[in-house]
Structure 1
């Protein structure tokens, strides 16, 4: 069994904070520290319960981290996925202990506690604190450190290493500073009651009797899964959050103003462009993007793969630019909106892929192709012919009822299978080389049109709109509703008029379906065909529906079968590509 973690043992806070020459790195853009006064007060009550012997110990919860590989000369870095609130609170509590001891002139004791639990021996990325806070907390953490450093004699006891906070800017008041001051007041009160021994008793209990489970995940993308399994009430990190944190990690020690500027001017415009109708499509972009460089990539390995790609890139702008190259072909495949500025015929093909609800498995290929068109590497005619093949292949499968299962294997490496020969014939051969992936022939398509219940199929609105266009219709947008000519709840009169060979499955089959507006659909119901025909002919905005009424004086099984034949001829002509026939010579993609 593959393990998700390298360690998940319960540890005391003392052991967690005193991690040797190691630090806890809270990603630059992670949410801010939010411990409210009631939570801080509850913690103090829990501490006193242990100190006064009411309970033996207290469990604070889990801390999920990812131990990053570092240079041998660097300290061990634990990137915090969850547990920021607990770790920061523990750090503030011990900072308050140090301050109170320094105020009591116990400089050696204060310095030793600071060296063990607040700092490492030397600076790492401009700070030697054991916790590197996120951007929103750095000014407040710097204010806490400045309060400790204000005692000159304490600083002398710390030599040769001082406490150095990360560069920061912005407001320095908020929960971090508030809780630090709250903890200081708590110790002053306890000192007045029991002197230094009481203070020591409290911090020893805190370090030795308060525990957490530190979970060190091998893959940081497993952090959110473990987070969910622990039933945390906080919002878990998403893969997109991990990507953003990774991109900015290499400059997290730069001046915050610089990092913020890159975020506001480069990252945010890039990220927000994935939001369509209030829904972000960035998360789903990452897997097909990863497949572009590694067709064998597993979805669970996306983040690790991307991180490895970016190891040698120090500039966040360069990383974002590499992602941005494939953004518009991705969105155009999903929505057909031509953000890529494709030529007219190419744009139309992408729009049709979006309209037919093409499976996401095609994305690595359409993203590759779209980028090649943008870069001028593939011409309009070649791209159009290739997309025609893909569209026809998908539509035929949808008509016959084949699930998209197996298409991932086809499209994840289709671009590389072409070997630079980007044309319709090469795409046909490459798809056909997957012997277990069905590519329905004309007979299968005709049979499915006549017999399959396509009413609830996702492909049906696309087919009816394309059929309407074939008849010269100009109805823009999508089909509002689909009308059953033979009603879904056909009464005795309808069944009689339809014929003695009435077949229930005909009701939801394509020949019995016509596009119409929602208003017309609700008013037709179980009306006789004569009444429906009048409405179809005179009132429908769809030309194919008007022509249906004009061509069919009655609607019975014979008319149904005749229309089934007409639709089959149209569909096989409109989506003409089938599995290539046997060739005289060997084909390297097939053999």
Structure 2
């Protein structure tokens, strides 16, 4: 069934001497990775040692002539291989931009990098053949043509708005950021290229589609391999059993209680163990000192802590786990009244990197002379910080753990009021300016970050609510939000004639152009509990929509956010721009970092 299973460095999968082509089946789903995945792959390669494991791919190899081009059908791992190809293209562009400064060795690397993307035997034979879904194939060729790797070709319409181009531009920006502060810019690029080339993937080759299907089933049925948390548990219980024979069941109960605090999500469990070390590094470094806990050194850290004091380690992480469950809103503590809603908002705005700071503050509350008001105001500050950060990417994600570790270092000797004041000063110093924040707010915000957009719209709507008019905009039903983002001018591909007439005086081409430039702007967005019922309906139908009981469920639903929509008789580009500007000013004021300036 399986022809081969090998762990290869990326450079070998893209071997310049090999006539290997990776073809993604035409019917396969389009390229779907987004910023979170691009960021994770880039940071994992950058921050970990050479040889970092990136996952696996499954290929069908039906070739028989070893002298001809070997075409492998890539049936699993297409997102990863496509992303790596785009990363190589971005590195190639960065080196090509400095071509006159390259020495002989670096020029050879530039040529070799080209051969990773096109075969040596023919410049037009690209090594990765993406699927045709959503113009993936055309967009990818356009990028290779743009950087001079293949001959010129037409750029598909709106290519810049699709994931292939956006991934490529993202990597360009990250590389530019990486080399900006370096004296040896070329050396930095070459060092990064070396890390990418030495990262590893397991390539599984099978002989047929039937074999591939059987392999998928067997992999799914056998479950996941042991995780880092499994290995830490095994080490801890084995150590405790050797110290106190016969009591392992008691400690296993304690361990399970810890995991019950954290929940079943493995990513959250792993994050807790990393954040625990990073939050309390100052006291733990006497046992084992590393600059920062990461995925790659997590087991090593806990082996040292367990060997030093297994029982004490379990007690301390269990106590921290209970506090972490409060941060996660899984449990409540009557002694911490007033911080539940701020913590829930911190979760909603994806502020998890700051949980290590909150864990430290909760664990040291008495010692640091903190009140619940101090804690609540700090969480509110973090919420405002993450609204701005998650939209502007300032400071970048890769810096956040070290940022909050630094905050802890600077407040450890402070007490009472001085602590939230210091945290505010530190966050203001590294956050994006109001101008940068507003620039992002004025753009296609929904496309930039739909989660932040939903949080912003919900916050604007909640501002005007009273106890009597309160609506839970975060209600979940059937594993999804009841209230979702609604595009006033629809975002769908086929614009209804009523909208072509209203927004573009019947000009379909103009309507499509307006959709490209304005559909994802803040002024064209609202929150609706009946999004599926509104969809592509005309503006008047959306505005006046009512349910069977005659209750308004359209733009006249009573939300302050929709007030101007409920009174409007039509919808135009000018109204989108005006509403965008009005909401931008409200959002800037609502999420001002320094309360004194609000």
Deviations 1:160-213 (A, max 9, x none): xxxxxxxxxxxxxxxxxxxxxxxxxxxxxxxxxxxxxxxxxxxxxxxxxxxxxx
Q: What runs of 5+ residues in structure 2 fail to find an aligned partner? A: 1-198, 205-214, 283-290, 476-480
Contact 1:328/1:339 (8 A) holds in 2? no
What SS is found at the alignment partner of 2:397?
Answer: coil
Structure 2 length normalisation: TM-score? 0.51
Contact 2:365/2:371 (8 A) holds in 1? yes
CA displacement at 1:349 relative to structure 2: 1.4
Distance 1:227 1:558 in 2: 51
1:512 and 2:520 matched: no
CA displacement at 1:538 relative to structure 2: 1.7
Deviations 1:296-322 (A, max 9, x none): 2241222322333344426x2x32220
What SS is found at the alignment partner of 1:515?
Answer: strand
Deviations 1:473-498 (A, max 9, x none): 52222443221101113345424423
Contact 1:429/1:580 (8 A) holds in 2? no
Distance 2:567 2:379 in 1: 34
What SS is found at the alignment partner of 2:552?
Answer: helix
1:494 and 2:490 matched: no
Alignment of 1:365-514 (within 5 A): 365-373=357-365, 377-400=369-392, 402=394, 404-421=397-414, 422-432=418-428, 434=430, 439-455=431-447, 457-472=450-465, 474-476=470-472, 477-478=474-475, 479-480=481-482, 481-489=484-492, 490-491=495-496, 493-498=498-503, 503-504=514-515, 505-514=517-526
Number of residue-to-residue matches in the alignment: 345
Measured on the aligned residues, the alpha-carbon RMSD in Å equals 3.6
State which of 517, 522, 534 in structure 1 corresponds to 2:544.
534
State which of 546, 562, 578 in structure 1 corresponds to 2:578.
562
Deviations 1:442-487 (A, max 9, x none): 3333332222232552212211211111121522224432211011
Contact 1:449/1:568 (8 A) holds in 2? yes
State which of 338, 346, 351 in structure 1 corresponds to 2:339.
346
State which of 286, 303, 306 in structure 2 corresponds to 1:307.
303
CA displacement at 1:542 relative to structure 2: 6.3
Deviations 1:23-46 (A, max 9, x none): xxxxxxxxxxxxxxxxxxxxxxxx
Instruction: Rate the CA distance shift 1:410–1:259 in 2: closer, same or farther, 3 A.
Output: same
Contact 1:395/1:459 (8 A) holds in 2? yes
CA displacement at 1:353 relative to structure 2: 0.5
CA displacement at 1:229 relative to structure 2: 9.8
State which of 218, 231, 239 in structure 2 corresponds to 1:250.
239
1:282 and 2:273 matched: no
CA displacement at 1:281 relative to structure 2: 3.4
Contact 2:460/2:561 (8 A) holds in 1? no
What SS is found at the alignment partner of 2:486?
Answer: strand
Alignment of 1:204-219 (within 5 A): none
State which of 258, 266, 271 in structure 2 corresponds to 1:270.
258
Distance 1:262 1:235 in 2: 24
Contact 2:323/2:362 (8 A) holds in 1? yes
What SS is found at the alignment partner of 1:508?
Answer: coil
Distance 1:321 1:274 in 2: 15
Contact 2:275/2:293 (8 A) holds in 1? no
Instruction: Rate the CA distance shift 1:510–1:441 in 2: closer, same or farther, 3 A.
Output: same
CA displacement at 1:574 relative to structure 2: 1.3
Contact 2:258/2:322 (8 A) holds in 1? no
Instruction: Rate the CA distance shift 1:236–1:445 in 2: closer, same or farther, 3 A.
Output: closer
Distance 2:501 2:589 in 1: 35
Distance 2:578 2:251 in 1: 64
Instruction: Rate the CA distance shift 1:543–1:344 in 2: closer, same or farther, 3 A.
Output: farther
CA displacement at 1:557 relative to structure 2: 2.1
Distance 1:462 1:342 in 2: 28
Structure 1 length normalisation: TM-score? 0.52
CA displacement at 1:578 relative to structure 2: 5.9
Instruction: Rate the CA distance shift 1:495–1:345 in 2: closer, same or farther, 3 A.
Output: farther
Instruction: Rate the CA distance shift 1:574–1:313 in 2: closer, same or farther, 3 A.
Output: same
Deviations 1:322-377 (A, max 9, x none): 002221343344x334534463432221110111122x422221211222347773
Distance 2:242 2:538 in 1: 76
Query: Which of structure 1's runs of 4+ aligned residues deviate more than 4 A?
Result: 225-235, 499-502, 578-581
What SS is found at the alignment partner of 2:526?
Answer: strand
Instruction: Rate the CA distance shift 1:226–1:464 in 2: closer, same or farther, 3 A.
Output: closer
Contact 1:365/1:411 (8 A) holds in 2? yes
What SS is found at the alignment partner of 2:358?
Answer: helix
Alignment of 1:230-249 (within 5 A): 236-249=225-238
CA displacement at 1:280 relative to structure 2: 7.5
Q: What runs of 5+ residues in structure 1 fail to find an aligned partner? A: 1-224, 582-591
What SS is found at the alignment partner of 1:538?
Answer: coil
What SS is found at the alignment partner of 2:542?
Answer: helix
What SS is found at the alignment partner of 1:406?
Answer: helix
